Amino acid sequence: MHAKTDSEVTSLAPSSPPRSPTSRGGRAVYYVQSPSRDSHDGEKTATSVHSTPALSPMGSPRHSVGRDSSSSRFSGHPKRKGDKSSSGRKGAPAGKGWQEIGVIEEEGLLDDEDERRGIPKRCKYFLIFVLGFVVLFSFFALVLWGASRSQKPQIVVKSITFENFIIQAGTDASLVPTDMATTNSTVKLTYRNTGTFFGIHVTADPFTLSYSQLTLASGDLNKFYQARSSRRTVSVGVAGNKVPLYGGGPTLTAGKGSGSMAPVPMILRTTVHSRAYVLGALVKPKFTRAIECKVLMNPAKLNKPISLDKSCIYL
């Protein structure tokens, strides 16, 4: 290559003429021309041309592609020493801001995956609130139930009064002759609600008067409501009309020949049911009281109350 003048160099430098291959020993040789400076004389000299042989035409593009990819990989996010990081702190290590962004992006992806796979966060919070409310409400209801169970109602059978007690001959439904008993009586009892924060609905099984295995009279208690911390006296009519006595008739009329009937021992039975509505239909304790009283019916004391204070058993 011959040396070129400064005018020729300036005319050739920006144009970068195409490289033409020459053959050397059967191989294609490519020449690359680039400007250079000569440091010895301090003046601009002619461009030195360096020839770089290549083994094949495909070698140069492959090398340039690798170089471009590496340069683009490292030149995308330049970091200089002393630059401020994305968080605003001076002197932070390079790449820390991108690490933080990566962590945030990963957390966002995890949250999205949780929302897709499971229940959303709002639903989770709502379920936790509902569960906590149910637990607290159940505990409160349990406390109310325990407090109400300790405040049982008080029932006392005071007396029974016989208006009449008649035994006469007759026939039963199948026209079998037998003695018949007719009884009219009234039972009085007191009911007291000891509950301080709830009322009670009261019902009872039929009151029955029986002699041996025979039921001579029965009566029903009218259901009622008893307010908190209150009491009342209840009267129940117990009656029987022409009840067949069959084999028990002679025993009842054993003393009738002397002009008066002997006292007749009887049993008065019933069961009182009390239902308290403490918290609506959720907390409604029930109290059951079975009562059994021994009664001595004296024909000489008709229309007079017979005290039962000491002759009753409460189960």
Q: How far apart are CA 207 and CA 214, in angstroms?
A: 14
CA 33 to chain centre: 84
- Confidence (pLDDT) at 194: 93
- Token code pair at residue 63: 């090398």
Confidence of residue 275 (pLDDT cuts 50, 70, 90): very high
For residues 161 and 127, the model is more confident at 161
* DSSP-derived secondary structure letter, 192: E
Average pLDDT value for residue range 232-250: 86
CATH class of 153-252+261-314: mainly beta
Residue 91: is its pLDDT beyond 70?
A: no
Confidence of residue 248 (pLDDT cuts 50, 70, 90): low
- Confidence (pLDDT) at 179: 85
For residues 13 and 294, the model is more confident at 294
What are the tens digits of pLDDT across the range 10-66? 444 444 444 444 444 445 555 555 554 444 444 444 344 344 444 444 444 444 444
The region, left, alpha or beta by phi > 0 then psi within -120 to 50, assigned to residue 229 is left
Show me where the domains of the chain are located. 121-150, 153-252+261-314
For residues 24 and 135, the model is more confident at 135
Q: Contact at 8 Å (CB) between 206 and 182?
A: no
Average pLDDT value for residue range 190-202: 93
Diameter of the chain measured on Cα atoms: 173
Residue 127: is its pLDDT beyond 60?
A: yes
What percent of the chain is modeled with pLDDT above 90? 33
Window from 57-61, 128-132, 310-314 with minimum mean pLDDT: 57-61
Strand-pair partners of 123: none
For residues 144 and 293, the model is more confident at 293
Residue 78: is its pLDDT beyond 50?
A: no
* DSSP-derived secondary structure letter, 255: T
Window from 18-27, 140-149, 294-303 with minimum mean pLDDT: 18-27
